Amino acid sequence: MFFFMAKEIKCPHCGKWTTTAEPHCDFCGELLKPDRSEEEERLRKFKPLDIPLIEINADDHWALKAVKMVARTGQAIFLFIASVLVYIASGAAH
């Protein structure tokens, strides 16, 4: 099926060459990972959310560590909510 648009890739599970026209390997039946999936393409657009979490240094003052700990927790919650909203928004827009 759809051989005209098929591209051969090496199965990461069994190492045999199979076509990307099918989502699963023709030989072992494992799910194939295409070079660039639609989901990855969607996530690629939201780079601004890719903010690294605040780092806590071992030699920070205990009070500073406490502040950073609270800030990092808040940041993690914010990023989680933001990513959920983006997921819902992008899902609705599609």
Per CB under 5 A, does 28 bind Zn ion? yes
- The single-letter code of the amino acid at 43 is L
Among 9, 13, 67, 75, binds Zn ion (CB under 5 A): 13
Supply the minimum distance, in Å, between the C-beta of residue 20 and Zn ion: 12
Per CB under 5 A, does 33 bind Zn ion? no
Per CB under 5 A, does 27 bind Zn ion? yes
Find all residues with CB under 8 Å of 92, minimum gap 6, and list them: none
Find all residues with CB under 8 Å of 31, minimum gap 6, and list them: 23, 24, 25
The pair of structure tokens assigned to 35 is 């070079």
Applying CB under 5 A, the residues found at the interface with Zn ion are 11, 13-14, 25, 27-28
